[in-house]
Amino acid sequence: MKIQIREKEGVAILDLEGNIDINASNFVETTGWVLTNMTTDIICNFESVNLVDYVGISLIAVVYKNILNHNGRIKLYNVPSHVMKLFFIVGLDRVFEYYMSEEQALGAIQEEKTAAKLQKKHLRRRFKRIPFNATIEYKPKFSQKEQFSEGKIINLSADGVFVLTDRIYSIGDLLHTRMNLMPQPGIIEIDTKVVWIADRDMQPHDYPGMALEFHNIQPKEQEKIVQFVERHLTHSAQEFDE
C-alpha cells in the first residue's frame, strides 16, 4: 500500500492507495511515525483504497488504538461503499467518524480541538479551590434526632468545601449541609461526604477540620456553585490586575 503524508492546519492527512491487507504493515508504521514526529490528529483519505480484508481490519484496529493511546483523533473520509459494508459487518462503523470530504473531516477535528481547549479551561477553573469565609451547617444525612452543627468554610470548589469545626465526623460519613453563597445563589442545601480529616500534628492550621465532597449533587445545583466560583475567580483576577 502506498501512503502519502500531507499536513494541513496542524493535522496530518494520509492519502492511502492500494490494499489494506497483510502487506500493509506500513500503515501502522507510518501512523506511528506521524504520532511521534508530527501530530496526534490524523485524517485518512480512503478514496484510492481498493480492498480491506480481515487482516487489514486488524491493522486498522492497531492504528486506532495507537492514536487513542496518544490522546489523538482520527477521522476517515471518501470511504468506498464496499469498504463501508465491511466496516459495518465488523462493527467499525460505530468506531470511526466518516466524512464525505477532507474539509468536513478537518473541520470536525478543529471543532473538537476548540471544544477540548474550552473544556480544559473550564475544568481548571471549576476545580480550582477559592478562599471563602462563610458559615456552614451540617448534620448526619440519615439522622432524624441530631441537630445541625455549625462550622466555618475556609475554601470552596465546585466539588466540595473544607470546614473548620469542633464537630468532626468519620471519613465516609454522609452529611446534609446548608451553606449561604452570598449574594447569589444564596442558601444551598446539599448532601456531602467526609473525605478527609485534618491531623493535629501534620496540619495544625487546618485542625480541627474536615473536607466535605458534594455527594450526588444535581447538575443544576452544581452549576450554581460553578458560576459562584467563576465569578469569585474573575473578581479576584480583576482586583489583582488593578
The residues spanned by each domain of the chain are 2-102, 130-216
pLDDT means per 10 residues in the chain (242 residues)?
95 97 96 96 97 95 93 94 93 90 93 72 62 92 88 90 93 92 85 91 88 87 83 57 44
The C-alpha cell of 154 is what? 475556609
What fold is seen in the domain 2-102? Answer: Transcription Regulator spoIIAA (3.30.750)
- What's the pTM? 0.53
Query: pLDDT tens-digit profile of 42-92?
Result: 999 999 999 999 999 999 999 999 999 998 999 999 999 999 999 999 988
Residue (of 93, 96, 83, 11) closest to 49 by Cα position: 83
Task: Please determine, looking at this structure, whether the domain spanning 130-216 carries the CATH number 3.40.50.150.
Answer: no
Residue (of 96, 74, 72) closest to 83 by Cα position: 96
d(CA 118, CA 99): 24
d(CA 81, CA 181): 58
